[in-house]
Structure 1
Amino acid sequence: MDRDELTAWALKNGWRMIADCPSLTKPRNPKEAIVRMVFKTTVVNLEVKKPAGKWEKVSGASYAAVVADPETDVPQGLGFETIPSFNTLMRENKDAQVFSAFK
């Protein structure tokens, strides 16, 4: 997957663009990113914001190593499949986007 495909997948699955990075936010504070994908020239990194406010790289992979799962469409190679809290956070962010449309 390339940068555009990852961005499209992220926006379709509850991520939002914050500071030019697809980001997941705290459910109670939707303006503060706590997980983000940072795109470099040849790699994409997944970073998590520590309580002290510093970003820490959790995983990274070259674009060629990141592939969409044929069944779930979730990119494999960035750690989404091994860290269940990301799936929960993505679901909460997507639900918040869907329900904000009804306000």
Structure 2
Amino acid sequence: MDKDALTAWALKNGWQMICGHPSLTKPNAPKEAIVRLVLKATVVNLEVKKPAGKWEKVGGESYAKVTLEDEEALPAGLGFEKVPSISRLMQDNRDRRVFASFG
């Protein structure tokens, strides 16, 4: 995958751009990112916000080593398995975006 493909996947799956990074937000605080993808020139990092407000890198890999089996699946190689309930968080963000378009 490359930077553009990873960004497109994220935006299609409920992520939103916050401060220049594809991000997921808390269900009860939709303006505050708690998970983000930091897309650099040659690598992508998965970061989670700690309760103290500091970002912690939980995984990262070069774009060439990040793979996507299916558009609905999580990309392999970034450490998504280390983030509890990532699928549920993505679904909540996707649902919020869909229902916001009705209002």
**Identical-residue share of aligned pairs (%):** 66
Kindly provide the CA deviation profile for residues 31-64 of structure 1, in whole angstroms up to 9, marking residues without a partner as x.
0000000011211000000010000001001101
Query: For residue 78 of structure 1, what is the aligned residue in structure 2?
Result: 78
Question: Do 2:44 and 2:60's aligned partners in 1 also have CA atoms closer than 8 Å?
Answer: yes
Query: Which residue is equivalent to 1:26?
Result: 26
Question: Is the contact made by 1:47 and 1:55 (CA closer than 8 Å) also made in structure 2?
Answer: yes
In the alignment, structure 2 segments of 5+ residues that lack a partner are none
Q: Which structure 2 residues correspond to residues 44-83 of structure 1 after superposition, within 5 A? A: 44-70=44-70, 72-81=72-81, 83=83
Q: What value does the CA root-mean-square deviation take over the aligned residues?
A: 1.5
Amino acid at match of 1:98: V
SS in 2 for 1:76: coil
Counterpart CA distance in 2 for 1:72 and 1:84 is 18
Measure the CA separation in 2 of the matches of 1:34 and 1:71.
Answer: 23
Amino acid at match of 2:14: G
What TM-score comes out, normalization by structure 2 length?
Answer: 0.92
How many residues align? The count is: 103
Query: TM-score scaled to structure 1, two decimals?
Result: 0.92
Q: Does the residue aligned with 1:60 lie in a helix, a strand or coil?
A: strand
Letter in 1 for 2:53: G
Aligned partners of 2:100, 2:21: CA distance in 1, in Å? 21
Kindly provide the amino acid, as one letter, of the partner of residue 102 in structure 1: F
1:74 deviates by: 2.7
> Secondary structure at the residue paired with 1:75?
coil
